Amino acid sequence: MRTKGLFDFGPVLGYFFRKKDPSRHSNFNLRTMHTINKISMLMFLAGLIYMLVKFVILR
């Protein structure tokens, strides 16, 4: 099994830390959608880390 592509966090980090593009149209709904997406990704990662820690401690 090839694991090289499994841990490629470049697109995720690029989504969080990208620069503002002046040619890209932005409005309130689009900014709100991206904010909710970022919050949901952070919550997922926090839950995943919690589950891994819990698994390691109870093992």
| pLDDT for the residue 40 | 94
Is pLDDT at 1 greater than 70 in this prediction? no
Note whether 41 and 12 are within 8 A (CB): yes
What is the Cα gyration radius of the chain?
16
DSSP summary character for residue 18: P
pLDDT tens digits, 5-49: 666 777 777 777 777 777 877 789 988 998 999 899 889 989 999
| pLDDT for the residue 26 | 79
| pLDDT for the residue 11 | 77
Distance CA 16, CA 12 (A): 7
Name the pTM for this structure. 0.65
| pLDDT for the residue 3 | 66
Note whether 19 and 48 are within 8 A (CB): no
